[in-house]
C-alpha cells in the first residue's frame, strides 16, 4: 500500500537529510604531513643553491642545485637537480657536469 505523498510531510525528512549530510562535512580533513623515516633530518634545506670553489681568487668550479639538504654533523651537502661548471686557469668555463643528485663534503670539498 502506497502512502499519499504530501509536500508538508516531506519537509522534516528533507531537513533531517540535509543536516545529516552537513554534519558529515564538518570534520577536519586529514593532513598530508610527511613523517620522518627514522633517518637523520638535515640541519638546513635550501632551494636554488649555489656554491663556488676558488683558488687564489680564481673560480675552480661552481655547483648549482635546485635544492640542497645540509648536514652539519657529517659536513655533507646532498644536492638535487645538479649542474657543475668547471673553469680553466683563465677563469673560462671549460666543462659542465649535470646530475639528478650529488653529494659535497664541506671539509674536503669532494663531490660524489
31 pLDDT tier (thresholds 50, 70, 90): very low
The strand ranges marked E within 1-92 are 44-55, 58-71, 76-87
Q: pTM higher than 0.75, yes or no?
A: no
Looking at the predicted structure, is the pLDDT value of residue 2 above 80?
no
d(CA 104, CA 111): 5
Helix, strand and coil percent figures for the chain, each rounded to 5: 15, 45, 40
Looking at the predicted structure, is the pLDDT value of residue 70 above 50?
yes
Can you give the pLDDT at residue 39?
79
Q: Which residue do the cell numbers 642545485 mark? A: 65
Can you give the pLDDT at residue 62?
96
Amino acid at each position: 500500500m502506497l502512502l499519499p505523498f504530501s509536500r508538508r510531510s516531506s519537509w522534516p525528512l528533507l531537513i533531517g537529510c540535509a543536516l545529516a549530510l552537513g554534519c558529515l562535512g564538518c570534520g577536519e580533513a586529514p593532513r598530508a604531513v610527511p613523517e620522518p623515516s627514522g633517518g637523520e633530518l638535515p640541519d638546513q634545506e635550501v632551494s636554488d643553491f649555489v656554491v663556488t670553489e676558488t683558488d687564489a681568487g680564481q673560480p675552480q668550479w661552481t655547483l648549482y642545485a635546485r635544492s640542497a639538504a645540509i648536514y652539519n654533523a657529517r659536513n655533507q651537502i646532498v644536492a638535487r637537480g645538479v649542474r657543475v661548471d668547471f673553469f680553466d686557469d683563465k677563469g673560462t668555463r671549460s666543462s659542465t657536469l649535470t646530475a639528478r643528485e650529488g653529494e659535497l663534503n664541506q671539509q674536503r670539498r669532494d663531490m660524489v
